[in-house]
Amino acid sequence: MKIIALKIISLYTKIRHFTVPVTLRYFCRDTYYCRFQQLKYIFKDYFFKKPYKEITFSGEFAPELQFVLPFAYWHYKNGTLLKTQSSVHTKALYFFSPQHKEVFTNRTNEGNYNYEVPRVLYSHNYNMSKWCKVPLKKHYQNKIYVFEKPTLIIANRYNSEWGGPPISFIPINVLQELIPQLKEKYTIVYNRAKSDYIVNDNSNIFDLEDFEWLSKYHPDVTIMNTLYERDKHLVDSFNHLQLMVYANASCFISTHGGTATLASYFGGINIILSKKGPEHYFKCYKKLYPKLSDAEIYHVKTDQDLIAKTKEKFLDNA
């Protein structure tokens, strides 16, 4: 039955989306197959509602935030969520789950293709059913991480992408262009997580030498890793700390992937540096990311555009 369904859906996708590049068309196919899979739950979800849904996800951080977490929250609001399972350090994300287990110590690309979720990865259609905004900001706002100036988060990364070198990251020369001006008006929290604080996926994390540079030239910038070492007795995990700090912020500069997705959960303004990826073709930053919290999302593709957009949104208009 599964093979037949996939063949029919593949044929329909080929005809319906013949203009989509072949290398990206399977994202459309997977969207249709996910919808097909949800048909078997119509009665349980809409007529005989009681807790039954067990959601398990072992994929990457970005799709979990984009599709799985809002799916779980929809079931919670619907009264049909029984339990959830995900990677280590995710308890804080699933704060609403009646029973959450942290079972996976590695995130895998294969885990992204969980067809029991109504959506996997990006595609042509973002009018999603069984998807509900998760109120992370409301739930985690606190009086602990309130600073003298408004908080501005710079969420960076420096890891391999698509089996090659880092592509979408904020280099030190760009940080030097921005930080001296930004810190006059904001308390800057710089976030690039150490590998042992998070669950790794199939990418390698490299050394940007940014922490040493910040400590030497901008010691007044708060580094999230340092904050975690100081306050780990207050939180369950590094993710928990991120949620608490982010919840008190409305200004974000982030980079492609999970860092950009998480920063889009907290309203305000999020400037995303993404130089490459299927997200560009499928217009994720216009159609999907704003749905996470009604944040203003600005996608830039170059370092110079990042500098210009940051000055426009956080300095000239501040």
Q: Stretch 211-227: mean pLDDT, rounded?
A: 97
In this structure, are 57 and 187 located in the same domain? no
> Which CATH number do you get for residue 232?
3.40.50
Q: Does residue 55 contact residue 71 with C-beta atoms inside 8 Å?
A: yes
In this structure, are 208 and 231 located in the same domain? yes
* Alpha helical stretches, state H, the chain: 2-16, 22-38, 42-46, 61-63, 69-78, 136-140, 172-182, 210-217, 224-231, 238-247, 258-263, 278-281, 284-287, 303-310
Q: Report pLDDT digits (tens) over 274-317.
A: 999 999 999 999 999 999 999 999 999 999 999 999 999 999 87
Whether 318 shows a pLDDT value over 70: the answer reads no
Q: Report pLDDT digits (tens) over 143-180.
A: 999 999 999 999 999 999 988 999 999 999 999 999 99
In this structure, are 84 and 198 located in the same domain? no
As a whole number of angstroms, the distance between CA 116 and CA 126 comes to: 17
Q: Name the one residue in this structure whose structure tokens are 């109120």.
A: 135
Q: What is the span of the domain harbouring residue 110?
A: 2-134
In this structure, are 104 and 153 located in the same domain? no
Number of domains in the chain: 2
What is the model's pLDDT at position 1?
65
Residue where a domain terminates, one of 83, 111, 134: 134
In this structure, are 148 and 281 located in the same domain? yes
In this structure, are 167 and 63 located in the same domain? no
In this structure, are 305 and 186 located in the same domain? yes
In this structure, are 112 and 164 located in the same domain? no
In this structure, are 276 and 152 located in the same domain? yes
As a whole number of angstroms, the distance between CA 144 and CA 190 comes to: 17
Residue where a domain terminates, one of 134, 157, 179: 134
In this structure, are 187 and 113 located in the same domain? no
